[in-house]
Amino acid sequence: MTSTTESPAPGAGHAVAGLAAVTARARELLPDRAVISERSRLRTYECDGLAHYRVTPGLVVLPEDATQLAGVVRACAEHGVPYVARGSGTGLSGGALPHADGVLVVTSQMRTITSLRPEDQRAVVEPGVINLDVTRAATPHGYYYAPDPSSQQICSIGGNVAENSGGAHCLKYGFTTNHVLGADFVTAEGDVVRLGDAAPDSPGYDLLGAVVGSEGTLGVVTSTTVRLVRLPEEVRTLLVGFESTDQAGAATSAIISAGIVPAAIEMMDALAIEAAEAAVHCDYPAGAGAVLVIELDGALIEVEQEYADVERLCAENGAFEQRVATDPAERALIWKGRKSAFAAVGRISPDYIVQDGVIPRTALPEVLARIAELSSTSGVRVANVFHAGDGNLHPLVLFDDAVEGEADAAEEVSGAILDLCIEHGGSITGEHGVGMDKAKFMPRMYDEADLDTMQMVRCAFDPDGIANPGKVFPTPRLCGEVPGRHKGAHPLQESGLAEVF
Ligand SMILES: Cc1cc2nc3c(=O)[nH]c(=O)nc-3n(C[C@H](O)[C@H](O)[C@H](O)COP(=O)(O)OP(=O)(O)OC[C@H]3O[C@@H](n4cnc5c(N)ncnc54)[C@H](O)[C@@H]3O)c2cc1C
């Protein structure tokens, strides 16, 4: 299943010359240690978290500040060389997959928290700063950074912004986009601009909103102003065992319908529990067909009331065991089972696809039943782990690459799950992004006119198409082309009031 590109495509003489020019410029701008062109070292960067796609980059640069980064991007623009931004490379959709004749701009040397201002609940961070390090810095002041992808110990804030990353606690606190107030941004031409502000709202178009979740296709974020959230007075973490995912899903709906918004409600099915037990011995309820990890936080008096209600609602929906963590170690063990679930699946299967789709929460029972059907008719095992409160599914589709045909069967089931999400009014990605992997699914969700409109936004930011080309959109067009149905000149063009990029 691994696909590897080792060298530039035939006839790529122009690209080779362009890359040589950018390499020379990067050596002028950056220290020697920050410019990597030896093949053996370049291979370190050939994939992100989606490791079955691999491309050795033409050049890797590790800028130490925004000026160096902008200089390299400007050189790329001058010579028409594609570039890809990379934070920690934990992405699961191939978004940071390099180009063989392009530059990989890695932000791991830009890890300074430039300002921490608990008094106005803000921090300003460089793009390579690790997500959890923001919380570590803010905690002594009584604050934390709320978006918490399960990869938070290693993923970067720049990557989080580009993917609009979520996490277990986004049910109550919102995704990255709700916590980013401003950003410094290097355009595809290599100019440094500021988007948004520390103030709550800026007039004009929400360009920051366009950049959050744009997966590196509009430019590179070099600094982000993020919101800090006050640490709650009380946190209560429950582990609840059910006989089936149907019961656990019904309990989730009952909790939300009762007007309770827990900080998190996570579900794992029997196969996912088996994997987590094998990997981290998390001591989840024996014989459970599903578990919920429910976290309540806030003022003590409020949490106590919610806790009583949640316990009752779970019991009414069939819970056979309920435990509440009594100390931080127990809380950590409950979360360890959930947060290690992806990697843990390696204990029960040599290979697996981490799928990511989203559906309205009410469709959970129907979609889970259809996934079970797909699994039994195809013989492909599927473990389910998900942010139940958000309806964000992470089916883990298991296969053995060494067995002929298993990888293809797994791919088929994985794609059929996305079709199910679309059919039920959901989306092909909840939080892992489209990247390279899911670009082919975009036309299943959007028609030509929608895709053309998105392409025009991209062209407005990146007219030459050098910022992470080949990602997100299935059939990139040149920006000079008038896309799709919009043939002929627009009346605004004819009147001289507008131009097509
Ligand atoms: C075990 C595991 C668990 C995970 N759990 C979650 C989860 O719970 N929730 C979730 O949302 N994701 C999760 N992820 C996916 C991944 O960690 C997130 O997408 C994360 O935000 C990627 O950050 P990164 O620094 O690794 O980015 P990378 O993988 O390096 O890059 C991701 C994308 O961002 C772009 N990019 C990176 N830096 C910049 C920048 N400075 N400016 C512009 N574009 C940039 C890249 O070009 C690429 O398109 C998980 C991954 C793993 C391996």
**Model-level pTM greater than 0.85?**
yes
pLDDT digits (tens, 9 = 90+) for 348-369: 999 999 999 999 988 888 999 9
SS3 358: strand
With a 6 A CB cut-off, is 87 part of the ligand 1 pocket? yes
When pLDDT is averaged across residues 495-501 and rounded to a whole number, the result is: 58
166 lines ligand 1 (CB under 6 A): yes
Q: CA-to-CA distance for 127 and 74, rounded, in angstroms?
A: 19
- Give the tens place of pLDDT for each residue, 23-60: 999 999 999 999 999 999 999 999 999 988 999 999 99
Cα–Cα dist 63/439, whole Å = 29
Question: Is the torsion defined by CA of 119, 121, 123, 129 positive or negative?
Answer: positive
Predicted local confidence at residue 485, as pLDDT? 42
- The mean pLDDT value for 454-482 works out to 84
CA 91–ligand 1 middle distance (angstroms):
4
| Confidence at residue 6, expressed as pLDDT on a 0 to 100 scale | 46
pLDDT of residue 495 exceeding 70, the answer is: no
Q: Give the burial string for 289-315 (b: 16+ CB within 10 Å, else e).
A: bbbbbbbbbbeeeebeebbebbbebbe
Which protein residue's CA is at the shortest distance from atom 18 of ligand 1?
91
Q: CA dist 399 to 275, 333, 381, 382, 422, Å?
A: 14, 28, 8, 9, 24
Using a pLDDT cut of 70, give the percent of the chain over it.
92
Question: Can you give the pLDDT at residue 460?
Answer: 94
Least confident of 2-11, 14-23, 310-319, 420-429: 2-11
Give dist(CA 293, CA 241) in Å, integer.
9
Q: Is the pLDDT of residue 458 over 80?
A: yes
Going through 6-117 in order, the beta strands assigned E by DSSP cover 35-36, 53-55, 59-61, 83-86, 103-106, 113-117
pLDDT band at 340 (very low <50, low <70, confident <90, very high): confident
Average pLDDT value over all residues in the chain: 91
Give the Å distance between the CA of 155 and the centre of ligand 1: 6
pLDDT at 500: 56
CB 383 within 8 A of CB 353: no
Chain centroid offset of residue 418 CA: 16
pLDDT at 477: 62
Task: Look at residue 361 in the predicted model and tell me its pLDDT.
Answer: 86
Q: Which helix (H) or strand (E) holds 491?
A: helix 491-494
Q: Ligand 1 centre and the CA of 49: distance in Å?
A: 9
Q: Relative to the CA of 433, which ligand 1 atom is closest?
A: 19
130 touches ligand 1 (CB under 6 Å)? no
For 54, the token pair is: 């691999």
175 lines ligand 1 (CB under 6 A): no
Give the residue whose CA is nearest to atom 1 of ligand 1.
151
The residue type of 399 is F
The continuous run of DSSP H or E covering 181 comes out as strand 180-187
The answer, yes or no, to whether residue 1 has pLDDT greater than 70, is no
Nearest to 445 by CA among 414, 418, 409: 418
Which amino acid is present at 112?
A: T
pLDDT tens digit sequence for 291-311: 999 999 999 999 999 999 999
Q: What pLDDT, on the 0 to 100 scale, is given for residue 474?
A: 87
Indicate if the pLDDT at residue 425 is higher than 70. Answer: yes
Residue 269 in 3-state DSSP? strand
Measuring from atom 11 of ligand 1, which residue has the nearest CA?
165
> Could you give the angle at the alpha carbon of 127 between the alpha carbons of 206 and 98, nearest 5°?
95
Say yes or no to pLDDT of 122 above 60.
yes
| Segment 64-95, tens digit of pLDDT | 999 999 999 999 999 999 999 999 999 999 99
CB of 98 within 6 A of ligand 1: the answer is no
Q: Quick one: average pLDDT of 228-246?
A: 96
The beta-carbon contacts of 411-417 under 8 Å, at least 24 apart in sequence, are 411/1, 411/353, 412/378, 413/374, 413/375, 413/378, 413/380, 413/382, 414/353, 414/355, 415/441, 416/374, 417/355, 417/357, 417/371, 417/374, 417/382, 417/393
